[in-house]
Amino acid sequence: MKKFSLLLTLFLVSFFSFSQEIKESTFKSEIQEVTVFLSGAQIFETSSGKIPAGESFILIKGLSPYLDEKSIQVKGMGDFTIQAVNKRLDYLSEQKTGEKVQALQDSILAIQRNQGKEFARLEVLKEKTSLLNANKNIGGTQNGSSLTELKQAMDFYDAELMKIKTEELKIQANIQQEDDEMNKLSNQITAMQASFNESTSEIRIRVKSDRGGTADFEINYLVANAGWYPKYDVRVKNVSSPLSLTYKAEVYQNTGVDWKDVKLRFSNGNPNQGGQIPDLEKWELNFARLTTFNPRAQTFGSVAGRITSASDGSPLPGANILVSGTTIGTVSDMEGNYSLTLPSGASQLSASFIGYQPRQIAINSSRVNISLQEDTQALEEIVVMGYGAEQKKSMAGATVRLRGISTLDGAPAPLLQTSVVENQTTVEIEVAEPYSIKSNGEKTLVDLKNFQVEASYRYSVVPKLDNDAFLIAEISDWSQYSLLEGESNLYFEDGFVGRSILNGSSLQDTLEVSMGRDRSIVIQREKNDEFSKKRAIGSNITESREYKITVKNNKSQAVTINVEDQIPISVNSDITVEALTLSGGKLDPQTGKVTWTITLQPGAQQELKLQYEVKYPKKEKVILD
């Protein structure tokens, strides 16, 4: 037994001695490139340094705490072998607080110190008031105080008490202002700080080398709390000019690490989205009375609101709001406010913020306020299983192209240079010039491309629903521009006319871009009561309707206008609908839509008539108005 214990002791001593011999070296790393996905980002870093002979650990510190351990890839260049790669959270190395954040924190401390003095002064004033009240009985228990003495005492008491109350009110007002100022500073710090966590990540690379030397590493990994939203500026000078389309990326990042002078790529991919093809489940058909139908949801053109913390109602600046199932989204401002233009069919919003549980919210109003619950689950230490790797070969995973940042001589070009790279499953837009984006959750707009696009223009109007005319720009062969669905700011004739959705996911050969309302086209739709009658013929009721649509062009140039209206479509064999006069309009018998395409010269107007007749049994009723 003693012999066994001795052997065990020798083994443990040898093991710990061997472990202590493995040296650790901390290498500095720099972010060279970032590929920003619709959700998440891929970081490309480089690092180099000296490694000793034998086995050693290379530590890459100060990385984002939101690093995805499954995505780490390491490529080593040098006379050594990579044995394993681990990732863990580093609680000892706190993230460096920026100078601006530190200044804000110092301002809060100064206000708190001043408030300490103010609260102390309030206590002194309270004591003075108590002292005055305790001695306000003139002459104590003795009688005989003269009226003069009494008046002098009352004046003294009045004057002193007024001074105390005035000073108290002034101090309380100052404290209220200081509280408001500290709230503003705290909100600013929340928006500027990278995250709520004081930890960073570190990558531990275990290497083995027969002799010491230089080691170079190329590292890439995915991080959360970053992404981009497609945005557009659409400008039209007049309907005789090309359309100017500026493609922008609204970037946000709360990764905990600033991106300084890095090369940016914007990808339409989403690595967080599942790649498994869905299964088509069995479709079970049953009687209608046993079938549940979902009512058609009400739709809205835009939505706005405020994002707050459910615990105290404070605003959440830098929160992400996305229209579920689309690439349309935005980031809340300093007061937690947001606004979005909605595509057709939008039914849900997805909201997320660091340190809070993400939430899906139904769009049941044009104003949707969102409160998020704090996520109490703390980040746990995560260790990545080591990957075996041969010398000068990348780790398991896809091969990654690394590009250095080129040095530009002279002044930078006035226009941002970008290029489009079409991969097998994604499209990337590369920004040629280095860019810096701080980890503070603020929105940063990056111009990607500017296109001068040949477009044809027409006006569309649906006077039954809206008397305004909408200018539509039609772009053919639009797929060459690699556009995504996103919000667009509309500018027509040098003026901002509103916002719309550029539907980059359309399957049509021609992309239609709504340029908003043009009130120089005047439309009026009126019901002709003289023609609209109801009469009984035998066992049936016959009702007729006539609507007069007047269109006038007040612009200085000729315009082409599409006018849409409709007649009802019968879904019952006892109800018949007959179109009478359509003024040359085309009727789609399947939908009941009537379409006119007219061209109006400047100052001209045209009248269109829509007449139809409906027959149905006397015992029934139909709703025509």
Residue 287's pLDDT is: 54
Query: DSSP H helical segments within 482-578, as ranges?
Result: none
List, in order, residues 6 or more apart from 591 with CB less than 8 Å away. Answer: 566, 569
CA dist., res. 551 & res. 549, Å (int): 7
CA dist., res. 402 & res. 399, Å (int): 10
Instruction: Write out pLDDT tens, residues 82-115.
Output: 999 988 776 555 445 556 677 888 888 889 888 8
Cα-Cα-Cα-Cα dihedral of 299, 300, 301, 302, to 10°?
Answer: -140
Contact between 21 and 53 (Cβ < 8 Å): no
Residue 231's pLDDT is: 92
Strand partners, 549: 525, 608
**Which residue from 63, 65, 55 is spatially nearest to 25, judged by alpha carbons?**
55
Q: How distant, in Å, are the alpha carbons of 266, 503, 510 from that of 479? A: 17, 12, 9
Residue 389's pLDDT is: 34
Q: Which residues of the chain are modeled with pLDDT < 50?
A: 4, 8, 10-19, 94-95, 139-142, 194-197, 378-415, 424
Residue 292's pLDDT is: 62
List, in order, residues 6 or more apart from 536 with CB less than 8 Å away. Answer: 542, 618
**Tokens describing residue 622:** 């139909």
- Exposed e or buried b per residue across 211-247, where buried means at least 16 C-beta atoms within 10 angstroms of its C-beta: eeeebebbbbbbbbbbbbbbbbbbbbeebeeebbbbb
Q: How distant, in Å, are the alpha carbons of 6, 8, 14 from that of 3? A: 5, 9, 17
List, in order, residues 6 or more apart from 608 with CB less than 8 Å away. Answer: 548, 549, 550, 551, 563, 583, 585, 596, 598
Residue 286's pLDDT is: 61
Residue 196's pLDDT is: 45
CA dist., res. 90 & res. 82, Å (int): 22
Residue 212: DSSP 8-state: -
Contact between 353 and 372 (Cβ < 8 Å): yes
Placement of tokens 């890839």 in the chain: 73
Residue 28: DSSP 8-state: P
